[in-house]
A and B are shown apart, each in its own frame.
Chain A
Amino acid sequence: MWKTILRRLLIMIPQLIILSLLVFLLAKMMPGDPFSGSINPNTDPKQIEALRRAAGLYDPWYVQYFRWVGNLFHGDLGTSYIQHVPVTSLIADRANNTFWLSLLTTILTYSIAIPLGITAGRHQDQWQDTGVQIFNYITLATPGFVFYILGLWLFGFTLGWFPISGSVSANASGFWGVLGSRLYHMIFPAILYALIATTGTVQYLRTGIVDNKVEDYVRTARSKGVPENVVFHKHILRNSLLPIAAFLGNTITGLLSGSMIIESVFSYPGMGKLFLDSISQRDYTTLTALILIFGILTLIGNLLSDIIMSIIDPRIRIQ
């Protein structure tokens, strides 16, 4: 298996080179540049031109590309054109915010979805199942942004239970104060996100249980006189969790990529929001760095999923 992992890692190198080249060229092809937003009668176009030249924006694309790659190997992702701080520090800041929000969301998602999925599967076609199915269809059919905005309006503005933007209150002080404030800012978007992110997990789990219930090995276990509870937890549930485990790798790396929609609605300064802003502001350095990171995360996520699957399901082995 180690050989396979090593091979997979090696394949990632050409994939990343192609990705970085595409990303770099596409970013440059967008109309405008980081300075085009600064042009007005109170700035001197000559000075703007001088700044563009100093930033190397007039060099041929391959010169710019190799300079970028060269810096990349030194761990230097450049300086953000808009925020005027090193991109690494900017991303570290945002990744930290996103990580905790995503972690909370993931925990909430699973703690809602798994019990629901089990209930529905176990009580197939009974009222419990119908209830879960209705919930599932509603969350499936509700577009995220509508749901978040409604939630924000109801609980954030009308009832005033939760903060409406940011990751920490301006008034928070002290370690516990800041921690509490951060949690308070995260919990609401996390709940909303988790509520409608459950659909897939619930459905996979329910179907898995329903399918496995009638498998031969379950009948064998029952005929051996294995108690029903053990049959369910040891035989049915374990096998039904497989499809969910298949996504685990991407879920883990996804903790860092964040969600553009929820972060925008709640003005939560995370990776998804940073990505959107860097596009609209033509912040090339941040944008290219982010896409590269997202790309790497996806590749690693797939690899992780494969490894996890091969560990928990002996039938699957990476060849």
Chain B
Amino acid sequence: MKKTQLLGSIGLVTGAVLTLAACGQKTNNNAGAHDAKKFKEATPVKEVKKGGTLSYALEVDTPFTGIFNNELSTTTTDSEVAQFGNESLFSTDDSYKINNKGAATFKLDRKAKTVTIEVKKGVKWSDGKQVTAKDLEYEYEIMANKGSKSQRYTASLQNIVGLTEYHDGKSKTISGIEMPDGENGRKIVIHFKEMKPGMLQSGNGFFLESASPYHQLKNIPFNKLESSDAVRKNPIFFGPYKISKIVRGQSVTWVPNKYYWRGTPKLDKITVSVVNPNSASQAIKSHKFDVAGVINSQWQQVKNTKNVNFIANIPLQYSYMGFKVGKWEDGKNVMNPKAKMNNKSLRQAMAYAMNIDAVEKRYTSGLTFRVPTLIPEQFGDYFDKDITGYTYNLKKANQLLDKAGYKKKGTYRVQPNGKPLTIHLAAMTGSSTQEPIIRNYIQQWKKIGLNVKLTGGRLMESNSFYDKVQNDSKDVDVFMAGWSLSSEPSPNDLYNEKAPFNFTRFVTKKNTQLLDEIDSQKAFNTKYRVDKFHEWQKYMFDQAYVVPTVNAYSIQAINSKITGYSLKPSQGNNGFPLWYKVGYAK
């Protein structure tokens, strides 16, 4: 699942902020839970008939790249195009825990520090060849070889024994990946330096969840892979459909893979074509596509469309407000105790002064909602439902500031040391309602006597925004950004001392300790891990270095004749539906 999250951060972050502008309605503390009932997660169950053509709208404003290899592709759009054939090795339950119902089975041995992956017999590439151990192993070679310039080579994966040596060219093979039954067997054993509790979850990033067809790619040098025909023009997959035609950047036609291990899929043909997101609502209303995503800001225009089922899920993502309290120095986050925003009361007051619920009611149709904690509700037990989050309360905000010594001088308050207080807020451009929403929050903060100004006097284009936020520009005290998450809930990559993505640069002993505990050996005990997750969420809520703001539905419009289409993680594949089951109703 990790692969679908790639590019997530900036791509989706912008998206998240965009939708912030575009969505939301009545919300209480458990907004997500209540609103989730507004939409079904799957099309109604009906008997499926064979045959039919399905057209799928790929809503992007740039042509898709079309790199059909999980280790080489760099965009979420490419994953979306490939979803019909590109199946994950594993299935999961609804909280993304790996089970053995997919194309491969998975066994974790804590003592031996290994993970064993075995492809089921009969799982075949679309050219009829069995998926082998070498196919599983070759995925790692592509990812780690310097020549292929993969962006997937990460610190988490370097936990595999021998991967670094292979990357540096010191060894010709990856010593930590064994093929006990040989290259043509179906089993690989991966040796790790250290076992992590997150390894039980899909999307954990410690091992890969896909395979590459070695027999097709073996003669192509790694540095030629990404531009090779085998990857760009005639890639093969082991999923339900195979590619029959690609028009570069514009459309892909899929036909059934007759060797598919679950059986023959239902549809005769699937065509995926690019459509401009601005035209999405018209595309839905005019029934040009059988499957099309709804742009939340266009919801009012499409919601009454006939012969369409609207289904939705809540993506693993959140928008947040972050307070800059330090700098990135020598490969780690260094907090500055004297930073302007390093005052808990000030941060809490700003959070209490945000009328998020009212804003959503005004600008959105119940599609965006406030989120109370930094762990999305979809993670089930890991989400702490007792946390209320910061609900609008100006009185409390004022009290906090008074108590902390931010005295009022005229309209605005001054710092406890008597110096004037101006807070610089960095925010990204988005849809047309983004600006009024941000201006509204600035008004709210003015009501509690805080002088908040936009960095640069206006909203920033996303490249400039991240340029300033990543480099700890002194023009940024507070920023509004977002994260798209992988399906392993550990917040370690985002908030630990060594995480470059910990943009607020806060580091505390307590936080480090809690994050360590979440990923410790003890945390293989789920109850312990859940407890530590709750503790961490409470701590983060109280400290308010990072205040989660909103999340939004991701809605799709599906032709009402289509059945078998589900967004539930247990029914899905890589974050997409299991296309094997999708077809026209009888």
- Interface on A for B, CB 8 Å cutoff? 30-32, 36-48, 51, 54, 79, 82-86, 93, 149, 152-153, 156-158, 160, 164-171, 173, 264-265, 267, 269, 273, 277, 280-282
For A80, give the chain B residue with the smallest CB separation: B65
Knowing A171-B253, A265-B276, the reply to whether A36 touches B62 (Cβ < 8 A) is: no
For B64, give the chain A residue with the smallest CB separation: A83
A51 & B288 in contact (Cβ 8 Å cutoff): no
B8 & A42 in contact (Cβ 8 Å cutoff): yes
At the interface, yes or no: B275 with Cβ under 8 Å from chain A? yes
A-contact 0/1 string along B96-137, CB 8 Å cutoff: 000000000000000000000000000000000000000000
Of B9, B62, B154, B276, which is within 8 A of A277 by CB? B62
A38 & B279 in contact (Cβ 8 Å cutoff): no
The distance from the CB of A267 to the nearest CB of chain B, in whole angstroms, is 5
The distance from the CB of A38 to the nearest CB of chain B, in whole angstroms, is 5
B62 & A40 in contact (Cβ 8 Å cutoff): no
The distance from the CB of B411 to the nearest CB of chain A, in whole angstroms, is 34
Q: Which residues of A contact B152 (CB under 8 A)?
A: 42-43
A157 & B463 in contact (Cβ 8 Å cutoff): no
For A149, give the chain B residue with the smallest CB separation: B278
- Name the prevailing secondary structure of the A interface residues: loop
- Interface on B for A, CB 8 Å cutoff? 2, 5-11, 61-63, 65, 67, 74, 149, 151-155, 205, 226-227, 232, 245, 247-253, 271-276, 278-279, 282-283, 285-286, 288, 461, 463-464, 466-467, 470, 483-486, 493-494, 499-501
Q: Which residues of A contact B283 (CB under 8 A)?
A: 157, 164
> What are 7 A-B pairs with beta-carbon distances under 8 A?
A36-B466, A37-B10, A157-B286, A166-B250, A171-B271, A264-B61, A277-B61
Complex CA distance for A31 and B5, rounded to whole angstroms? 24
Q: Which residues of A contact B288 (CB under 8 A)?
A: 157, 160, 164
A170 & B154 in contact (Cβ 8 Å cutoff): no
A40 & B282 in contact (Cβ 8 Å cutoff): no
Q: Which residue of B2, B288, B494 has the most chain A CB atoms within 10 A of its CB atom?
A: B288
Knowing A54-B149, A165-B274, A165-B279, the reply to whether A41 touches B494 (Cβ < 8 A) is: yes
5 further contact pairs, Cβ within 8 A, besides A38-B151, A41-B483, A160-B288: A39-B466, A40-B7, A44-B154, A165-B273, A165-B276
Of A32, A41, A277, A281, which is within 8 A of B486 by CB? A41
For A82, give the chain B residue with the smallest CB separation: B65
A84 & B5 in contact (Cβ 8 Å cutoff): no
Of B226, B464, B499, which is within 8 A of A31 by CB? B464
The distance from the CB of B208 to the nearest CB of chain A, in whole angstroms, is 12
The distance from the CB of B209 to the nearest CB of chain A, in whole angstroms, is 12
Q: Which residues of A contact B467 (CB under 8 A)?
A: 31-32, 36
For B495, give the chain A residue with the smallest CB separation: A41
Knowing A54-B149, A84-B67, the reply to whether A152 touches B286 (Cβ < 8 A) is: no
Complex CA distance for A83 and B67, rounded to whole angstroms? 8
B65 & A84 in contact (Cβ 8 Å cutoff): yes
A166 & B247 in contact (Cβ 8 Å cutoff): yes
A32 & B279 in contact (Cβ 8 Å cutoff): no
B463 & A170 in contact (Cβ 8 Å cutoff): no
Q: Which residues of A contact B463 (CB under 8 A)?
A: 30-32, 36, 282
The distance from the CB of A57 to the nearest CB of chain B, in whole angstroms, is 13
Complex CA distance for A170 and B58, rounded to whole angstroms? 13
B10 & A164 in contact (Cβ 8 Å cutoff): no
Of B6, B149, B276, which is within 8 A of A264 by CB? B276
A36 & B251 in contact (Cβ 8 Å cutoff): no
The distance from the CB of B170 to the nearest CB of chain A, in whole angstroms, is 16
The distance from the CB of A162 to the nearest CB of chain B, in whole angstroms, is 12
For B205, give the chain A residue with the smallest CB separation: A42
A281 & B62 in contact (Cβ 8 Å cutoff): yes
B486 & A157 in contact (Cβ 8 Å cutoff): no
Knowing A37-B10, A160-B286, the reply to whether A43 touches B154 (Cβ < 8 A) is: yes
The distance from the CB of A309 to the nearest CB of chain B, in whole angstroms, is 39
A44 & B8 in contact (Cβ 8 Å cutoff): no
Q: Which residues of B contact A38 (CB under 8 A)?
A: 6-7, 10, 74, 151
Complex CA distance for A44 and B151, rounded to whole angstroms? 8
Knowing A41-B493, A265-B276, the reply to whether A36 touches B151 (Cβ < 8 A) is: no
Knowing A30-B463, A36-B463, the reply to whether A267 touches B65 (Cβ < 8 A) is: no
Q: Which residues of B contact A85 (CB under 8 A)?
A: 227, 232
Complex CA distance for A44 and B483, rounded to whole angstroms? 16
The distance from the CB of A121 to the nearest CB of chain B, in whole angstroms, is 40
Complex CA distance for A157 and B279, rounded to whole angstroms? 9
Of A43, A166, A173, which is within 8 A of B273 by CB? A166
B275 & A164 in contact (Cβ 8 Å cutoff): yes
B286 & A158 in contact (Cβ 8 Å cutoff): yes
Complex CA distance for A310 and B11, rounded to whole angstroms? 53
Which are the 10 A-B pairs with shortest beta-carbon distances? A40-B9, A32-B463, A170-B251, A44-B154, A41-B493, A157-B282, A170-B271, A31-B467, A31-B464, A157-B286
Q: Which residue of A51, A149, A171 has the most chain B CB atoms within 10 A of its CB atom?
A: A171
Q: Which residues of B contact A48 (CB under 8 A)?
A: 151
For A47, give the chain B residue with the smallest CB separation: B153
Q: Which residues of A contact B245 (CB under 8 A)?
A: 170, 173
B227 & A45 in contact (Cβ 8 Å cutoff): no
Q: Which residues of B contact A45 (CB under 8 A)?
A: 500
Complex CA distance for A83 and B66, rounded to whole angstroms? 8
